[in-house]
Chain A
């Protein structure tokens, strides 16, 4: 069992680095913390960075998770190899580019590229954005998987992930007390489906709703309230068709929490009545 202890970063290729950084700064409300060798590091909380954008294929996504130490990293390497997965050990230079002291990379059964990092950097300076979006932290992602049942089995058997709730076959999974760190979305290819930042309160969700609409940003869903996690949410499109989410008030769960099954319908997605795009939960074969 590989124990994940932290949820750290996304590395995202983009077709237009400057435009993407501008959007992340002026619309999402992230802070640029560094630019090195074609990588731009950005954040919405007090850690070193949450997103690293680089010029490249917009389908090239990597998620960074944190392990407790180098012993755990070696243990993870063995466990993944034993599970039949190819494991790549990052060089010192590659670790420096990820702003951590060491890491390995592997691909999950869907082909999602995952970094397992050790001692990712903290930051001395606190987060200070250019726009008052009220962001508190990078909190979870939607992860595209080719088979949600197989993916749930992989993450819960090889890792310390457990399911907090299901909507259809899609599991919302976590390794700590936050209701979900992964939401699995059926797809015909791997990748990050959305990136979530927690904001302080409903006021922030609603202010951003009007701010983004005023700036002609395409809203994907919301404002709404998730029936599963209880969080108020707003989804919107950024560059390269990436979906970003603000939410607040996500439920905390403990050992006594019992996972619930929700059907795939509007009310499972939004308790307020906003109309979600349920096709994201139906998978690539829907409608055939």
Chain B
């Protein structure tokens, strides 16, 4: 069993690095923490970075999960190989680019690229954005799956990741007390389906709703409230078609939590009555 202790970052290829960074800083409310010629590091919390945009194919996406130690990293590599998964050890230069002390990379059965990292960088300075979006932390991702049952089994069989609720076949999964850290949404290709930042309160959700709407940003879903996690949310379109989410008030769960099955329909995604304009969230 591979023990994940945190979700750290997304690495996203973009065809227009400057536009992506402008959007992330001026609209999402992230802070640029560093940049080189071809990549820019941004964050919405006190950690080193949460998103790295790099010049490249927008389909080139990966995300980073943290394991506790080099010993755990070696054990994870063995576990994955024993399960027939190809594992690649990152070079020192690649680790430096990810701002971690070491990592391995593998793909899940759908083909999503995952970094397992050890000792990712913390930051001395606190998060200080240029727009008051109220972001408190990078919290979860939606992950695309071509076979939700198979992928749920992959994550829960090899990792300390369990489903806390399901909407249709989509499993909302976590490795810690937060209701979900990875949510698997069925589709026909690999990729990150959405990127979530927690904000402080419903005030932040609603302020951003009006702020983004005024700037002609396409709102994809919300403002609304998820009956699964209880979080109030707003989904909107960011650079390269990626969906970003603000949410507030996600439920914490413990060992006594029993996963619930919700039917795959609009009201399982929103208890206020908003309707999704996100392909993975709707049947139509």
Residues of A that sit less than 8 Å from B by CB? 202-203, 206-207, 209-211, 214, 223-225, 232, 271-274
Residue B154 interfacial (CB < 8 Å)? no
Q: How far is the CA of A100 from the CA of B43 in the complex (A)?
A: 62
Q: Contact between B206 and A207 (Cβ–Cβ < 8 Å)?
A: no
Knowing A203-B225, A225-B203, A271-B203 touch, does A210 contact B210 (C-beta < 8 A)? no
Q: How far is the CA of A232 from the CA of B232 in the complex (A)?
A: 15
Q: How far is the CA of A146 from the CA of B214 in the complex (A)?
A: 35
Chain A minimum-CB-distance residue to B273: A210
Determine how close the nearest CB of chain A comes to the CB of B216; give it in whole angstroms. 14
- The number of chain B residues with a CB under 8 A from chain A is 16
Chain A minimum-CB-distance residue to B272: A206
Residues of B that sit less than 8 Å from A by CB? 202-203, 206-207, 209-211, 214, 223-225, 232, 271-274
Q: How far is the CA of A202 from the CA of B233 in the complex (A)?
A: 13
Knowing A206-B223, A206-B225, A273-B211 touch, does A211 contact B206 (C-beta < 8 A)? no
Q: How far is the CA of A236 from the CA of B125 in the complex (A)?
A: 46
* Cβ 8 A contact of B272, one of A209, A224, A271: A209
The A-B contact count (CB < 8 A) is 40
Q: How far is the CA of A210 from the CA of B225 in the complex (A)?
A: 12
Q: Contact between B203 and A272 (Cβ–Cβ < 8 Å)?
A: yes
Instruction: List chain A residues, Cβ under 8 A from B206.
Output: 223-225, 272-273
Which of B203, B210, B225 has the most A CB atoms < 10 Å from its CB? B210
Instruction: List chain A residues, Cβ under 8 A from B203.
Output: 225, 271-272
Instruction: List chain A residues, Cβ under 8 A from B225.
Output: 203, 206
Instruction: List chain B residues, Cβ under 8 A from A210.
Output: 272-274
* A/B interface sample: 13 pairs, CB < 8 A: A203-B271, A203-B272, A206-B224, A206-B273, A207-B272, A207-B273, A211-B273, A214-B273, A225-B203, A225-B206, A273-B210, A273-B211, A274-B210
Instruction: List chain B residues, Cβ under 8 A from A225.
Output: 203, 206
Q: How far is the CA of A206 from the CA of B207 in the complex (A)?
A: 14
Q: How far is the CA of A256 from the CA of B211 in the complex (A)?
A: 35
Q: How far is the CA of A174 from the CA of B202 in the complex (A)?
A: 28
Instruction: List chain B residues, Cβ under 8 A from A273.
Output: 206-207, 209-211, 214
Q: How far is the CA of A203 from the CA of B224 in the complex (A)?
A: 9
